[in-house]
Amino acid sequence: MSARIASLPDRALVRVSGPDAWAFLNGLLTQEVLTLQPGALRFGALLSPPGRLLFDLFLFGEDDGVLLDVDADRRDALIQRLSLYRLRAQVTITPVDGTVQVLWPAASDAPGTPDPRLAALGHRHYGEALPPTDEAADWHDHRLTLGVPDPARDGGQDTTYPIEANFDLLNGIDFSKGCFIGQETTSRMKRRGAIRNRMLPLEVEGDLPPFGSEVLNGERRSGQTLSGQGHRVMALLRLDRLDGDLTVEAKPVTVRRPDWTGL
């Protein structure tokens, strides 16, 4: 079966190049960068010092640096934040014109690079644009079916911990690497198992609830809805209140626990 192809206008590119590019990013991001080879793709984030999620990003290895795939609306903010950390590092941080595309399902010989989060997500493609067969909304349907959050849509700046957005389950945090911004809180949550909330998909009846609608388990608050489309919406849910009859705006909803979460 031929892969479906969609362009993602809500994603943009930033290039970090120069002799210190890998070490510079490695000291900031949740992902190991020093071993990133040209043509390889990894998933990670830039956190705030207290460990909250600021920017989700993909890191694509290049010969002279790293290409970052980021939220288009916040690309300038990311460039500004990286520039503040640059100090004496020999790096150049520049926006890049180009289209981020996704292909799914994608055979091993399909264009692009396997999505490092989950094989079923297919490939991400940078470079000369391929003729699209589908819309971005079709890709998000696929993503939501798999239960994978989109942090740029689902997690407000400086409000969500990366583990709540399932970065630890989607290869977005390297717990064996050296220091990164927000590492202390992130490592402590993982080490102590102090994970109370996670993003999980809900299936709803009728229209989607507004962003931030309260999810109830009986009369107890169980979480809040995030972004979605069709009959699926991501929600940040309390793990100890998943069982039982969940409702949003007095309408029943069903929580889905993707196999990859182990829940």
* The total number of structural domains that make up the chain: 2
Q: Are residues 134 and 76 in the same domain?
A: yes
Residue 246 belongs to domain with CATH number: 2.40.30.110
pTM of the model: 0.95
Q: Are residues 27 and 112 in the same domain?
A: yes
Q: Strand, coil or helix: what is 192?
A: helix
Please count the CA atoms within 13 angstroms of the CA of 111 that sit on its side-chain side. 17
In a domain, 189, yes or no: no
Q: Are residues 150 and 223 in the same domain?
A: no
In a domain, 39, yes or no: yes
In a domain, 101, yes or no: yes
Q: Are residues 248 and 133 in the same domain?
A: no
In a domain, 251, yes or no: yes
Q: Which two tokens stand for residue 8?
A: 């993602």
Residue 209: domain span: 196-261
Q: Which two tokens stand for residue 172?
A: 């977005």
Amino acid 1: pLDDT: 59
Residue 11 belongs to domain with CATH number: 3.30.1360.120
In a domain, 177, yes or no: no
Q: Are residues 52 and 132 in the same domain?
A: yes
Q: Are residues 147 and 28 in the same domain?
A: yes
For the chain, which ranges sit under pLDDT 50? none
In a domain, 248, yes or no: yes
Among 53, 42, 64, residue whose Cα is nearest residue 170: 42
Final residue of a domain: which of 98, 129, 154? Answer: 154
Residue pLDDT, tens place only, 224-255: 999 999 999 999 999 999 999 999 999 999 99
Q: Are residues 147 and 204 in the same domain?
A: no
What is the C-alpha separation between 9 and 193, in angstroms, rounded? 37
Q: Are residues 26 and 145 in the same domain?
A: yes
Query: Would you say 63 and 21 are in contact if contact means Cβ atoms under 8 Å apart?
Result: no
In a domain, 173, yes or no: no
In a domain, 130, yes or no: yes
Final residue of a domain: which of 121, 137, 154? Answer: 154
What is the C-alpha separation between 87 and 212, in angstroms, rounded? 38
Amino acid 191: pLDDT: 85
Q: Are residues 104 and 218 in the same domain?
A: no
Final residue of a domain: which of 154, 184, 218? Answer: 154
Q: Are residues 133 and 41 in the same domain?
A: yes
Query: Would you say 61 and 38 are in contact if contact means Cβ atoms under 8 Å apart?
Result: yes
Q: Are residues 118 and 62 in the same domain?
A: yes
Q: Are residues 130 and 33 in the same domain?
A: yes
Question: Cα–chain-centroid distance for residue 20?
Answer: 25
Q: Strand, coil or helix: what is 174?
A: coil
What b/e sequence results for 189-220 when a residue is b if at least 16 CB atoms lie within 10 Å of its CB, and e otherwise? beeeeeeebbbbbbebeeebbeeebebbbeee
Query: Would you say 174 and 227 are in contact if contact means Cβ atoms under 8 Å apart?
Result: no
